[in-house]
Amino acid sequence: MNSRNVAQTTVTRDVVDFEKKTENIYESLAIIAKRANHIAAETREELHDKLSEFASSTDTLDEVFENREQIEISKYYERLPKPTLVAIQDFLDDKIYFRSPAKEENKDSAEN
C-alpha cells in the first residue's frame, strides 16, 4: 500500500457520493468492504514477509524486544492509512473495477 492522498483519520462523508456509482448504497458499501479486505490481506502478507526475515528460533525474549529494525517496520505499518480509508478513496476516485452481473442481465433482457 503506497502513501496516496488518503485521509489518516475518519472523515464525514456524504452517502450520496457512494450511491451515485452503483445506484445502491448497500452495493457500494459491499464493494468498499471487499476492497478493504483485499488491501488488509495484502498489507498483512507484506508485513509478515518483512518480519519473517528477522525470525529466528534461537532468539531470546530480550533479543526480540531489542530488534530495532522490526520496531521500525512495525511503526511504518502502523502509520499507514487504514485499509477502509484507502478503499473508500479508491471507490470515490473510480480506481475500483466492479460489475454487477444481475444488473447486466436485466439490462440485456430489457434491450431484447
Distance between CA 111 and CA 106 in Å, rounded? 9
Distance between CA 103 and CA 70 in Å, rounded? 48
Determine contact, residues 4/88, Cβ cutoff 8 Å.
no
User: For the chain, what are the domain ranges?
Assistant: 15-101
Determine contact, residues 88/13, Cβ cutoff 8 Å.
yes
| Three-class DSSP category at 23 | coil
Q: Which amino acid is at 62?
A: D
Burial, 31: exposed, middle or buried (Cβ in 10 Å; 0-12, 13-18, 19+)?
buried
At 4-44, the pLDDT tens digits run: 678 777 788 898 999 998 999 999 999 999 999 999 999 99
pTM of the prediction? 0.76
